[in-house]
């Protein structure tokens, strides 16, 4: 399979429309905190021939593919193997003080979903890995072997919003006393057996458990909680940020940060809003914007996406 054919960038034109005004200025820097295979990056570098691009990803396979894809753009491109909450350190290493635009395309990538051996999909048997960064020590297999029943229940509740979390956690602990979980099919078998038929008719019962395990393995939500504020802090005045979320847990975090920093901090009843109380950000879209029907038709993976965007109005430090 041709690398460029693997992935159609989600909400590409809308992201270009929203970030474009911040990339027109001289010396503009675009940071893609979730580089993936470089589909968004290639389009931005082509559309804005004077920008400097920084691509960050924890997945070494993705970095290798993106590196080949973006090689024609030469020294305009800087790729960094890192988790995206470490953006400030990456920028410091590159000698970049401020960023003109940020793009975050969250969640599991097409590469990770399509590579069966990564173990992200409940529909295909594979090792229970689920690491976005193959150099990280924690895997889904390790979680299923070592976490207590209470801890399993917690992550299924918190990260999968799974109502049957207690039942699944109990059955997993019982089963691992007989044999260790090493393959995704083993986990799916236990979950299906523990799920009432009426619930199974509503969708695959393993979906939320697999989501929860993936989030725990990669610490996705805690990383996101640190990453969005860090990105805003390094955004120049007039700079813009676009975040594409694929599930409600991610979107709530993004919504909370952007809402807090786009609101006035003036005490109630203050007759005049002082400059230091003015909003730091201006929201560029109303609420969470969904993909258009045309986008969904071309790229079904855009169906769950929720887009939020903001522009920085002033410095706070």
Under 8 Å between Cβ of 125 and 269: no
pLDDT interval class at 4 (50, 70, 90)? very low
Asked whether the predicted pLDDT for residue 192 surpasses 60, the reply is yes
Q: Does the annotation flag 107 for ligand binding?
A: no
Question: Among 248, 311, 299, which residue's Cα sits nearest to residue 13?
Answer: 299
Q: Does the annotation flag 117 for ligand binding?
A: no
Q: Does the annotation flag 200 for ligand binding?
A: no
Asked whether the predicted pLDDT for residue 290 surpasses 90, the reply is yes
pLDDT interval class at 186 (50, 70, 90)? very high
**Range name among 52-61, 120-129, 259-268 with the lowest pLDDT average:** 259-268
Please tell me the predicted confidence (pLDDT) of residue 74. 95
Please tell me the predicted confidence (pLDDT) of residue 298. 87
Please tell me the predicted confidence (pLDDT) of residue 213. 96
Asked whether the predicted pLDDT for residue 33 surpasses 80, the reply is yes
pLDDT interval class at 2 (50, 70, 90)? very low
Please tell me the predicted confidence (pLDDT) of residue 107. 76
Please tell me the predicted confidence (pLDDT) of residue 1. 38
Q: Which CATH code, of 3.40.50.150, 3.40.30.10, 1.10.287.1260, 3.20.20.10, is assigned to 3-111+220-312?
A: 3.40.50.150
- Range(s) for CATH 1.10.150.170 in the chain? 118-218
Please tell me the predicted confidence (pLDDT) of residue 222. 94
Structure token pair of residue 68: 């080949």
Asked whether the predicted pLDDT for residue 145 surpasses 80, the reply is yes
Rounded distance, CA 88 to CA 90, Å? 5
Please tell me the predicted confidence (pLDDT) of residue 5. 44
Residue 138 CA from chain centroid, whole number: 18
- Tell me which of 122 and 234 has the higher pLDDT: 234
Asked whether the predicted pLDDT for residue 200 surpasses 90, the reply is no
- Tell me which of 41 and 134 has the higher pLDDT: 41
- Tell me which of 316 and 1 has the higher pLDDT: 316
Structure token pair of residue 28: 């503009």
Asked whether the predicted pLDDT for residue 27 surpasses 70, the reply is yes
Please tell me the predicted confidence (pLDDT) of residue 276. 65
* DSSP code of residue 179: S
Please tell me the predicted confidence (pLDDT) of residue 112. 63
Q: Does the annotation flag 38 for ligand binding?
A: yes
Place of tokens 């393993």: 206
Please tell me the predicted confidence (pLDDT) of residue 109. 67
- Range(s) for CATH 3.40.50.150 in the chain? 3-111+220-312
pLDDT interval class at 122 (50, 70, 90)? confident
Question: How many C-beta neighbours within 10 Å does residue 7 have?
Answer: 21
pLDDT interval class at 199 (50, 70, 90)? confident
Q: Does the annotation flag 219 for ligand binding?
A: no
Asked whether the predicted pLDDT for residue 168 surpasses 90, the reply is yes
Considering the domain 118-218 in this protein, what is its CATH number?
Answer: 1.10.150.170
Please tell me the predicted confidence (pLDDT) of residue 3. 42
Please provide the average confidence, as pLDDT, over all residues in the chain. 90
Distance (Å) of CA 32 to CA 104, 107, 212, 284, 299: 6, 14, 25, 19, 20
């Amino acid at each position: 399979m041709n690398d460029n054919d693997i992935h159609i960038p989600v909400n590409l034109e809308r992201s270009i429309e929203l970030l474009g005004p911040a990339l027109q200025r001289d010396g503009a820097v675009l940071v893609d905190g979730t580089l993936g295979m470089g589909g968004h990056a290639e389009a931005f570098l082509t559309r804005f021939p004077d920008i400097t691009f920084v691509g960050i990803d924890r997945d070494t396979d993705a970095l290798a593919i993106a590196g080949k894809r973006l090689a024609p753009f030469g020294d305009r491109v800087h790729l960094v193997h890192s988790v995206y909450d470490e953006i400030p350190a990456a920028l410091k290493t590159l000698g970049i003080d401020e960023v003109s635009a940020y793009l975050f395309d969250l969640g599991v990538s097409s590469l990770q979903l399509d590579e069966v051996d990564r173990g992200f999909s409940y529909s295909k048997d594979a090792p229970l890995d689920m690491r976005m960064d193959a150099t990280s020590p924690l895997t889904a297999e390790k979680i299923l072997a070592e976490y207590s029943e209470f801890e399993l229940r917690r992550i299924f509740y918190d990260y999968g919003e799974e109502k049957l979390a207690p039942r699944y956690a109990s059955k997993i602990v019982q089963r691992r006393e007989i044999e260790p979980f090493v393959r995704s099919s083993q986990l799916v078998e236990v979950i299906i057996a523990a799920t009432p038929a009426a619930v199974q008719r509503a969708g695959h019962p393993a979906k939320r458990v697999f989501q929860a395990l993936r989030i725990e393995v990669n610490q996705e939500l805690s990383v996101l909680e640190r990453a969005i504020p860090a990105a805003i802090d390094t955004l120049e005045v007039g700079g813009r940020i676009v975040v594409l979320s694929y599930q409600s847990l991610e979107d709530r975090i993004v919504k909370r940060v952007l809402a807090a920093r786009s609101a006035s901090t003036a005490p109630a009843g203050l007759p005049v809003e002082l400059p230091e109380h003015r909003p730091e950000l201006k929201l560029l879209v109303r609420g969470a914007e969904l993909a258009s029907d045309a986008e969904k038709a071309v790229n079904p993976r855009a169906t769950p996406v929720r887009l939020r965007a903001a522009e920085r109005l002033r410095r706070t430090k």
